[in-house]
Amino acid sequence: MRLMTRLSVIIPCLNEADALPITLASLQRLREVGHEVVLVDAGSTDGSTDLAESLVDRIIPSERGRAQQMNVGAAAATGDALWFLHADTMVPVTAVDSLMRALAHGAVWGRFDVRLDAPGMAFRIIEWCMNQRSRLSGIATGDQAIFVRRDAFETVGGFPLIPLMEDVALSSALRRCSRPCCSRIRVRTSARRWEQFGVLPTVLQMWHLRYRFWRGDDPRELARLYRQGPR
């Protein structure tokens, strides 16, 4: 059994004042038992860092870009294991316990099932598809709260500095080391993109972008299309 002595939670942030306090509140028990929460801010102008100041151990400035921010946070973190959370993802207490047990029993990396914070059958179907696809493929997305041992993260070189699909690329690299631990405990994350652009258009766009990524298309062009939204 491998015992991990410290966990570092790393949260990239840019103007997340609405969601961030809820996410950080769910992590305070973890801080109380000696783990750390690191916020990596890319120049928020909405007061995100003020709201976070008493709820995190460190706030680190960074250039924009989720991959860049998470790598900066990992470099500054002191934990033996790293847990990457989106600013709009809330974790239940049982998720922390599950993660620590997985690492103690030798897991190299893993992720959680996801639940979207919107009512309706369409969102339940999306969740099910996301979770099953990840379990079968061994590929995780950032909203599934990826965790990884520091040595494995450093071995694969961290997140590649691309503007989209950095989570998929990291998963692909880590999968060559080990299959992920896929926890059935659900973390709760925002459904705002599906609500903004519509369920079917968003799903179709993500399938299209992922196909183009695997085909080798330029991630900068894919990021531009993602920001533009489905058409």
d(CA 31, CA 56): 8
Query: Which residue do the tokens 């990992």 mark?
Result: 74
User: 195-209: per-residue pLDDT in tens?
Assistant: 999 999 998 999 999
One-letter amino acid at 130 equals M
- Check: CB of residue 87 under 8 Å from CB of residue 24: no
Domain ranges of the chain: 7-119+139-190
Token couple for 80: 């033996």
Q: Span 211-220, mean pLDDT?
A: 92
Radius of gyration of the chain (CA): 17
Residue 142 is given by DSSP the state G
How far, in Å, are 38, 111, 193, 222, 229 from residue 146 at the CA level? 15, 5, 20, 22, 25
Residue 228 has pLDDT above 50, yes or no: yes
User: 90-123: per-residue pLDDT in tens?
Assistant: 999 899 889 999 999 999 999 999 999 999 999 9
Element (H, E) at 120: none
User: 25-64: per-residue pLDDT in tens?
Assistant: 999 999 999 999 999 999 999 999 999 999 999 999 999 9
Closest CA to 85 of 131, 16, 3, 181: 16
d(CA 56, CA 224): 32
Phi first, then psi: give them for residue 59, nearest 5 degrees: -120, 120
Give buried/exposed letters for 22-61 (b at 16+ CB in 10 A, else e). Answer: ebbebbeebeeeebbbbbbbbebeeebbebbeebbeebbe
- Which pLDDT band holds residue 230 (cuts at 50, 70, 90)? confident
Domain topology for 7-119+139-190:
Spore Coat Polysaccharide Biosynthesis Protein SpsA; Chain A (3.90.550)
d(CA 193, CA 91): 20
How many other β-carbons are positioned within 10 Å of the β-carbon of residue 122? 16
Q: What is the pLDDT of residue 1?
A: 41
d(CA 100, CA 183): 11
Q: What is the pLDDT of residue 217?
A: 92
Query: Which residue do the tokens 């599950």 mark?
Result: 98
Phi first, then psi: give them for residue 190, nearest 5 degrees: -75, 140
Residue 179 is given by DSSP the state P
